[in-house]
Amino acid sequence: MNAGDLAPDFTLTTDDGGSFTLSQALAHGPVVLFFYPAAMTKGCTKESCHFRDMGAAYQAAGVQRIGISMDDVAKQAQFAEANRLDYPLLSDPQGRVAALYGVKRAFDFLKVKRSTFAIGTDQRIVEVISSEFSMEVHAERALEVLTPR
């Protein structure tokens, strides 16, 4: 997936057992969809907490934060609670959505590539942020490209 592509629509279960559909969420503003390899790991915790810590800036800009991994709903709920995450985490246990976005890996340990998709209300990808080791760049760059100037 690249900037300018139409983001694939999908529906997944949230960490609180609810349902999230991308096209429905986009009716309420842009979405930052970030894929992370595994809940409860050091790098993913750092990245997810950085998104949490930038919550006020995201809210002021009207941009929604959505985390997604191949962890099951129970583990996502545990991760959200342990880190006081104030945004939905989506469970993609078979990696179906990860595959649609081209971030699913062939091997099991790190199931997805750490990638962030900044998606405009027209469902077009504005930018793709890919960095396995710079955890802060994802939240900062995604907000930057979606913030009206």
The model's pTM: 0.90
Q: Where are the chain's structural domains?
A: 11-146
Catalytic residues: 44
Q: What is the pLDDT of residues 51-94, one digit of tens each?
A: 999 999 999 999 999 999 999 999 999 999 999 999 999 999 99
Q: How far is CA 37 from CA 62, 91, 120, in A?
A: 26, 12, 24
Lowest mean pLDDT among 1-5, 27-31, 61-65, 115-119: 1-5
The CATH-assigned architecture of domain 11-146 is: 3-Layer(aba) Sandwich (3.40)
Measured in degrees and rounded to the nearest 5, phi and psi for residue 145 equal -75, -20
Q: Distance from CA of residue 100 to its chain's centroid?
A: 14
